[in-house]
Chain A
Amino acid sequence: MKEEIIIAGFGGQGVLSMGKILAYSGLMQGQEVSWMPSYGPEQRGGTANVTVILSDDSISSPILNEYDTAIILNQPSLDKFESRVKKGGTLILDPHGISRMPERKDINIYVIEATDEANRTNNLKTLNMIILGGLLKVRPIVKIENVMLGLKKTLPERHHHLLPLNEQAITIGMNLIKKL
């Protein structure tokens, strides 16, 4: 199995850390992984994106033309990556940052109102975990227990009391995602 994912949005939305959790989750289930960030000055404010590859075999290029799955959190990212989802692939978006819905008919498009949900619960920091939950509902590429192991590995110990909150956010995301 090989899954090539792009996660793109604004800096501060947890795009890079969502990718990191996903990569560590793959690692926990014994896969080869690569995590390739756009590490430019855009990290604070502008657009940020990360390419994550989980694969049973060794990974050649960490940089890709097209993706199995795109997670899109703002309009500039949709403009940039809509055309680069493989035919039959998956595009997940949060309509909060989107002014023009995708036009492609040959991919599976899902909507997750994660920003609204995170605002409602007054915890914007769980935004990326809600989206991750949505992703795992439609693309169950990693097991939840491996996600929790991966999360434990990426979170500093002083934040480990937040693990249940994150697991809860994943469940919320799983219930929240809808097909367009």
Chain B
Amino acid sequence: MKGNEAIAHAAIRSGCDGYFGYPITPQSEVMETLMEIEPWKTTGMVVLQAESEVASINMVYGGAGCGKRVMTSSSSPGISLMQEGISYIACAELPCVIVNVMRGGPGLGTIQPSQADYFQSVKGGGHGDYRLITLAPNSVQEMADHTSLAFDLAFKYRTPVLLLADGAIGQMMEKVTLPPARPRRTEEEIRKECPWATLGKRHGQKGNVITSLALLAEEMEAQNLKLQAKYAEISTNEIRVEKYMCDDADYVVVAFGLCARICKNAVETARANGQKVGLLRPITLWPFPTEEIRGLAERTKGMLVVELSSGQMVEDVRLAANGKVDVQFYGRLGGIVPSPQEVTDALHKLMNH
């Protein structure tokens, strides 16, 4: 099945209570698949086409406030529209899943794949000091697995989780094994898991309040410090990375999502030619695998970062490498995807530098 379809199937199987979205290429199959499966007839999950992305994210805000497992999905321009809501949700400490199947920008851009929303995703696309756990699937299988994982992380840390894919992973078809089906939680189970949820107060109970507003600066600073402590905990626990042939590598390619697949092919070619090249693939873009990259920077001769952008993640790789090694960049823009040969050529340039 397609990557987008895998997200829809995995959402239902993750016990999702509600999906709110607005169609946009190249991710429309997420909602299309949900509408086709009609989960409201089986698990009771709500699937709703909102009037806009702004409405979708605020419906997610409302559902999340009730402790429900809720999600939305969109593509780059639509995700930009959601940024205000995402900032509110992050501040209010609510769990939810947001899927961005990136397309070429800026502006309305194009419908072909891109990774140019990296900055927006990991450096706070909305206002204020907040972070999003950002998962970067590179296969249809991971589209399914990460949907399930995203819900788990969102509830573990009471924070929005972003699944950052690109148009190609969304549109391509591969073999997939869907995660085991979990039932939706009952209201009692939600009250137990989410004592903060606004489910209506019971006799003798104090009401829960969900807000992102604190007019006193002292209160707002306290809330910020609480968030920062949580982000520090996430940074300690949740970094995920895949290393391929890195152990004896002289040169390392760093790439995520679709680019990591293309680069793996180039690494295979290099290895077949006896060149010691490895691949490091950040699976979480935030928290970023800084230590892993620092370790490799200390003992390799060069790094190549490949992205479908003008160079965004490369900044974090250079920060991690901290000048210890030459970090070069290769990227294509606006929806163009490089071939494995282009990566091989960029690798040669790095090795002959």
A, B co-complexed: yes
Give the CA-CA distance A59 to B172 in the complex, in Å: 13
Q: Can you list, as one digit per residue, whether each of B257-275 has a CB less than 8 Å from chain A (1) or not (0)?
A: 0100110110010000000
Are A65 and B172 in contact, with the CB atoms below 8 A? no
Are B26 and A39 in contact, with the CB atoms below 8 A? yes
Are B111 and A41 in contact, with the CB atoms below 8 A? yes
Are B265 and A61 in contact, with the CB atoms below 8 A? yes
Q: Is B174 an interface residue (CB 8 A)?
A: yes
Q: A residues within 8 A CB of B174?
A: 32-35, 59, 62
Chain A 40-66 interface residues, beta-carbon cutoff 8 Å to B: 40-41, 59-65
7 A–B contacts from the bound complex (CB under 8 Å): A39-B25, A39-B112, A59-B174, A60-B265, A61-B261, A62-B261, A64-B265
Are B340 and A39 in contact, with the CB atoms below 8 A? no
Give the CA-CA distance A70 to B175 in the complex, in Å: 23
Q: B residues within 8 A CB of A59?
A: 174
Chain B 311-353 interface residues, beta-carbon cutoff 8 Å to A: 337, 339-341
Q: B residues within 8 A CB of A107?
A: none
Q: A residues within 8 A CB of B258?
A: 62-63
With both chains docked as a complex, state the minimum distance between the C-beta of A60 and any C-beta of chain B, in angstroms: 4
Q: How many chain A residues have a CB neighbour from B under 8 Å? A: 19
Give the CA-CA distance A121 to B264 in the complex, in Å: 46
Q: A residues within 8 A CB of B168?
A: 36, 62-63
Give the CA-CA distance A46 to B71 in the complex, in Å: 35
Are A65 and B341 in contact, with the CB atoms below 8 A? yes
Chain B: CB-nearest residue to A59: B174
Q: Is A37 an interface residue (CB 8 A)?
A: yes
Are A20 and B341 in contact, with the CB atoms below 8 A? no
Give the CA-CA distance A23 to B176 in the complex, in Å: 13
Q: Is B167 an interface residue (CB 8 A)?
A: yes
Q: Is A27 an interface residue (CB 8 A)?
A: yes
With both chains docked as a complex, state the minimum distance between the C-beta of B304 and any C-beta of chain A, in angstroms: 16
Are B171 and A34 in contact, with the CB atoms below 8 A? no
The 4 closest A-B pairs by CB, nearest first: A61-B265, A35-B173, A60-B264, A65-B341
Are B111 and A20 in contact, with the CB atoms below 8 A? no
Give the CA-CA distance A35 to B112 in the complex, in Å: 16
Chain A: CB-nearest residue to B337: A63
New contact pairs (19) apart from A20-B173, A62-B168, A63-B261, CB-CB < 8 Å? A27-B175, A32-B174, A33-B174, A34-B172, A34-B174, A35-B173, A39-B25, A39-B111, A39-B112, A39-B167, A41-B111, A59-B174, A60-B261, A61-B340, A62-B258, A63-B262, A63-B337, A63-B339, A63-B340
Q: B residues within 8 A CB of A27?
A: 175
With both chains docked as a complex, state the minimum distance between the C-beta of B145 and any C-beta of chain A, in angstroms: 15
Q: Can you list, as one digit per residue, whether each of B265-290 has a CB less than 8 Å from chain A (1) or not (0)?
A: 10010000000000000000000000
Q: B residues within 8 A CB of A63?
A: 168, 258, 261-262, 337, 339-340
With both chains docked as a complex, state the minimum distance between the C-beta of B336 and any C-beta of chain A, in angstroms: 11
Q: B residues within 8 A CB of A37?
A: 171-172
Which of B112, B340, B341 has a CB less than 8 Å from the CB of A40?
A: B112
Are B173 and A34 in contact, with the CB atoms below 8 A? yes
Are B264 and A36 in contact, with the CB atoms below 8 A? no
With both chains docked as a complex, state the minimum distance between the C-beta of A38 and any C-beta of chain B, in angstroms: 9
Are A61 and B262 in contact, with the CB atoms below 8 A? yes
